[in-house]
Structure 1
Amino acid sequence: MLNYYTTATPHLRSQPVFIQYSNHRELKTDNLPNHGRGNAVHSGSMNLSRSGPASNGTVVGGQSPVLRIIVENLFYPVSLEVLHQIFSKFGTVLKIITFTKNNQFQTLLQYSDPMNAHHAKLYDGSLHSGTRLRLFSGGFDGQNIYNACCTLRVEYSKLSSLNVKYNNDKSRDFTRLDLPSGDSQPALDHAMAAAFGTPGIIPSPYTGAAGFTPAMAFPHPAGLSLQVVPGTLEPLSIPASAMAGRMAIHGMPPTAMNSVLLVSNLNPNNISPQGLFILFGVYGDVHRVKIMFNKKENALIQMADATQAQLAMSHLNGQRLHGKVMRVTVSKHQTVQLPREGQEDQGLTKDFSGSPLHRFKKPGSKNFQNIFPPSATLHLSNIPPSVTDEILQNLFAACGYSVRAFKFFLKDRKMALIQLGSVEEAIQALIDLHNHDLGENHHLRVSFSKSTI
């Protein structure tokens, strides 16, 4: 199974799934409540029981006051104060530890009561409305902190309590104001290490971002509309620099601050700097692309800043392109060097810093709100009135793509959705047809859609 899926990455809901061997020799289920029933009923909701013994400081998921929170699509930084403000809606937050693991910003958060954690995870609701940030009674799993980004994934932790050694911007024990501020969160104790499956220290502690003040005293940047719902939390706001998509994440290791990405396992027969510019340009403004002269399955891509580089990496790592699974990591290089005059390059290095095709050059652009993972459904825009659905479907079909469905937007025929046979097809179609000339001074705009037809 492992060998097969190494070369054929499986996908669930358009997201790549990576399979590897576990450190565990076997799964232990003997101590689970309701053993043999396959599931357990809690408060009228059906929850899958989680495997693992309930000893040594850990508890069965669903009974713990500790939540594990992953923030996906981290376009704007999320500080410890922001998390405390949000999750305090459902009860008293005792302790928080933030860290970065597997290129994901994660949090362990302990409530005073397990029911607080239960409601925070499961109670249905929403965090935002329209272009306004809005907090009210509602569960947080799957919700966005800010518009179209910073998506919360909330699950129960196997830990029964957190051991916080320092009060700083990475960890906080709200019951112990006497703790020192230490430089970093120390090594995990045994029970906490077991919960992560591997021993060692928490890597890459996250410390928020420049421009953020404590959550209750956020500045109100011009142009950002905020709405407060009576009887609920104070509003959160995004610094103007973050709204412009230029927020640098501080406290991360030097490589994580780098704006240059290393892309490997490319198909050297089909790849080009222009193609990589179009694809990675979905998630940020690409300044330079360099395909390695002696190893053409590798490329360096320089984004406008480190935040956009992290965003592109989180969405494109593991996606299939030209039959191969791309690997995207942060490069050790700080910049992509252009070839010296007279140096042989074969057109493998391109400077796109002045390209008119950058999607995010305008501060506050609506494109910031429409960043989604690769999907089989593409969003088409800038369509002239004379172009029919048949013309567009034939355009994609002529390029070798299988069109499964198509529809114009009812209120705006300048936009449409087209569903192709697979995510890989859609990725390639975006590369091939973004900026395609449709006539009448209209060039087709292609992006990934969160919708299906």
Structure 2
Amino acid sequence: MSSQPQFRYTQTPSKVLHLRNLPWECAEEELVELCKPFGRIVNTMCNVGANRNQAFVEFADLNQAISMVSYYASSSEPAQVRGKTVYIQYSNRQEIVNNKSSGDVVGNVLLVTIEGVEAGDVSIDVIHLVFSAFGFVHKIATFEKAAGFQALIQYSDADTALNARNALDGRSIPSYLLPAHISSCHLRISFSAHKDLNIKFQSHRSRDYTNPYLPVNSSAIEGTLQPTVGVDGKKKEPESNVLLASIENMQYAVTVDVLHTVFSAFGYVQKIAIFEKNGGTQALIQYPDITTAAVAKESLEGHCIYDGGYCKLHLSYSRHTDLNVKV
């Protein structure tokens, strides 16, 4: 048994539960996910206390709160959020008064549950590519919970988020963006109470597309770059922060905006130039650094912008380092 009691038995039951030892800045969605098997949640109060690791959850009915407390009091498995044991007790209050509605209130941040996949099956770049079709994505944070693999996606305004939700809720990510072993996955989308996600560094779990100078966690590019020296002794192509893209099978128009959407999934795109050469369409895409360009090149080489094999990308490094874009 834990030295810290998980429940306070002497308290009078209340439909409001007090949760302690939560992960720092625990999201409302994580609380609801933990509690909803026992009943309908009508209100929450998150990030309470000096360490922001406590919360209050209000059930619609007293018996639902009693059911949750009783379940974990007798269960050999403690309540957990992000692997941390959560301590549950009845609150002294009978309701939460914080003027916070609990319905599906439209906001600028979406909570996306990707059903039918594991965390490693859908990259943050694929998520960015899908949701960028509706507007500029400011930030993305991904995480795993009991409900599965989830992501928080921040837009500049609620209207853009609403358009994305209406278009994508219940839909599946295109199969060509998924690993071969995934037959289908579905997006379940609601609105988050968050307004501005706190992204501390770029990684395979989180991105801030508004801040190209944010530090990069090594996990963001781990395993994607090839060795700088060819083991076969062949001359390696000099790397550059500017990529040269040749586009095959042009069945659809490829504009600067289309290329920006595709290539900004891997980092801040500084400049883009499109031109015709030898009867084909080519483009130069400039990143701030070689590392970002290398990740984009490795990830996109041979892939198609559109489903069905249309607008296939072939990428190499350009001899340019700073494009002179006048218009």
Q: Name the TM-score, length of structure 1 as normaliser.
A: 0.28
Higher RCO, 1 vs 2 (CA within 8 Å, ≥6 residues apart)? 2
TM value normalised by structure 2: 0.38
